[in-house]
Amino acid sequence: MTDYNIAVLGGDGTGPEVIAEGVKVLKAVGEKFGINFNFEYGLIGGCAYDVHKTPLPDSTISLAKNSDAVFLGAVGDWKYDVLPPEVRPEKALLGIRKALNLFANLRPALVFEELVSSSPLKPEIVSGVDIMIVRELTGDVYFGEPRGVEVQNGEKIGFNNMIYRENEIRRIAHAAFQTAMKRSKKLCSVDKANVLDVSRLWREIFVDVAKNYPEVELSHMYVDNAAMQLIKNPKQFDVIATGNIFGDILSDEASMLPGSLGLLPSASLSESGLGMYEPIHGSAPDLKGKNLVNPIATILSAAMMLKYSFSLEIEALEIENAVKNVLKSGFRTEDIFTEGMRKVSTSQMGDLVAKSVLCA
């Protein structure tokens, strides 16, 4: 029996609830295919601060580094908003990405045929949408130095620096081209090269890296136009590559094409092969303990884990098909519920997907 060690970081709010459903489905996969997933739990975010007075304890980093993959729920709660910025739960996300060198964030935006009506856009616009956004995750304005708030001439000023080094751009470019090679061999690089020097360097390096992938069609688009085109004509895109802050915004925009944040997974990958997998939604503290939040994004994150960290393509596809089968059967959590469907809770949706995996 094959063994895989998974660090499970439930986090705050509804994070532990959705993670529980992802673990449930992984156990079903393990039972069906003879795989032993070892789950070891750690603290991150507000719950870690409550115990260790830091949102990212050394023990959590050690746990993650000694695992084959990291499974993350979400962090944050309004009650921690009074804390100093350096110890707020959200600080743990930047910290763990940096500590594990998770430089490439893959965020698919797939519109399920069964949920076309759930999208806020017209069916003819979103039907068939299947986009992969490749977001650079450890550079850009979130990490640029110097940064801070100072008083100059009696007035407060805040400043952050958008900085990218050549090697950072090259490695995310290779990741994006390699992703495109596995899909439709079509890559759109999104930047702001008409205004920003850093974007001009970004574009220059993407053009250079493209020489290694002659089969991939490379195009370029300014970020403001890309934001518009995602709504106007999303089917023109296959793989989108962009920087940290642009990717943060565009991937959240793309997440609404299927109609709910609760549907979309993500993978954050390092050069060593270690990956962290999480839903793109937040901790939703107002829904904590109500058994209402949609676990599909977390369950599909587990499928991405199988695919990208463990090279278990067949098993990953089993989870994806199980989700589709449950949706075809008319089961819906509250966020995607429409008249005539069968409403289920968080745990019930997890049960249904796990059962579909075992019975397929």
Cα–Cα distances (Å) from 216 to 183, 206, 256, in that order, read: 10, 12, 27
Is 335 annotated in the active site? no
For residue 284, the Cα-to-chain-centroid distance in whole angstroms is 16
For residue 135, the Cα-to-chain-centroid distance in whole angstroms is 10
For the record, the structure tokens of 92 come out as 């743990």
Annotated active-site residue in 4, 12, 248, 308: 248
Is 50 annotated in the active site? no
Annotated active-site residue in 192, 213, 307, 308: 192
Annotated active-site residue in 238, 252, 335, 351: 252
* Strand pairing category for 239-242 and 130-136: parallel
User: For residues 170 and 178, is the Cβ–Cβ distance under 8 A?
Assistant: no
**108 burial type by CB count under 10 A (0-12 exposed, 13-18 middle, 19+ buried):** buried
- Count of C-beta atoms within a 10 Å radius of residue 227: 17
Annotated active-site residue in 3, 50, 58, 224: 224
Is 224 annotated in the active site? yes
Amino acid at 149: V
Annotated active-site residue in 4, 142, 277, 308: 142
Cβ neighbours of residue 62 closer than 8 Å, sequence gap 6 or more: none
Local structure of 133: helix, strand or coil: strand
The residues annotated with a catalytic role in the active site are 142, 192, 224, 248, 252
